[in-house]
Amino acid sequence: MTSPQRCKNLDLVEQDYGGRPLEQRESHQYEKEYVQSFVEKWDELIDWEGRAKGEGRFFVELLQRRGKQKVLDVATGTGFHSVQLLKSGFEVASVDGSAQMLSQAFQNARDHNFILRTTLADWRWLNRDVHEKYDAIICLGNSFTHLFSERDRRRTLAEFYAALRHDGILILDQRNYDAILDVGFDAKKHTYYYCGESVSAQPDHVDEGLCRFRYDFSDGQTFYLNMFPLRKEYTRNLLMEVGFTAVETYGDFQQTHREEEPDFFIHVAEKTYNP
């Protein structure tokens, strides 16, 4: 189902921060950020080839090791992970709250000879529109940090939990905001996620309640994303508090501790209850 609010936002041609960008700290702001012109540039930012190289078979092997087959990609974006998983033989359903993103994802999947099963849905009321249960849910690309209030984060995680089978897993990633908040952003490090060489991506403003990223493209276009700077331990605790029974956190696809601070954390939360 599509709400009238979302239909209206389909017409937005420019990102809309109401003239007060640092004050926009709402979970629904994403609807006014992924305007068509930004969505069309998204693949230049993430660079499918570079990203596939950076991630390797991390997600495929993680899912295969646990015997997971039916996957819900809740932050489909332009379809990168949905397509990677389809290529590896997983059954995939693709959700996003942005119609522009889903439409681009559908086209990208067509270009790879797949027909994407898409659902337009907001995570906060996911189960209104998604009725099947899944072995795994993936929420990747720093997407969860679009949620600004703890209420929305709890609500979303509860919706994800409910859409999983009894032994399902949630794979959710986030930028290393601890490092950004405490040390500063290292602009040289974008090896794994946002790989496009012709795009500069860095924070324009950082405080404990907002990390506003600025994306400068080679053709002179600039876009922004307002994100909530989640701290790693906060996310891990929240996952446990909503009912997941174990959380394992990887840094940049590595299990072992490295000298360097990771750019991204990947949390794998288990639903299975082992009394």
Ligand X SMILES: C[S@@+](CC[C@H](N)C(=O)[O-])C[C@H]1O[C@@H](n2cnc3c(N)ncnc32)[C@H](O)[C@@H]1O
192 or 244: CB nearest ligand X: 192
Task: Report, in Å, the least distance between residue 223 CB and ligand X.
Answer: 11
If we measure between CA atoms, which residue out of 109, 165, 174 comes closest to residue 140?
174
The DSSP code for 176 is -
Rank residues 122 and 252 by Cβ distance to ligand X and give the closer one. 122
**What is d(CA 72, CA 170) in angstroms, rounded to the nearest whole number?**
10
Of residues 8-27, which lie at the interface with ligand X (CB under 6 A)?
A: 27
x-or-dash pattern for ligand X, window 228-267, by CB under 6 A? Answer: ----------------------------------------
Determine if 161 is a binding residue for ligand X (CB under 6 A).
no
Assign 122 to helix, strand or coil: coil
The rounded distance, in Å, linking the Cα atoms of 263 and 186 is: 9
User: Which of 9, 36, 143, 249 forms a contact with ligand X (CB under 6 A)?
Assistant: 143
Q: Which residue has the tokens 């601070």?
A: 261
| 101 near ligand X, judged by CB under 6 A | yes
Alpha-helix runs per DSSP H in the chain: 4-9, 36-46, 48-55, 58-65, 80-87, 99-111, 126-129, 150-162, 177-182, 232-241
Which listed residue (122, 135, 159, 270) binds ligand X by CB under 6 A? 122
Contacts with ligand X by CB under 6 A lie at 27, 30, 34, 46, 75, 77, 80, 96-98, 101, 122-124, 140-143, 146
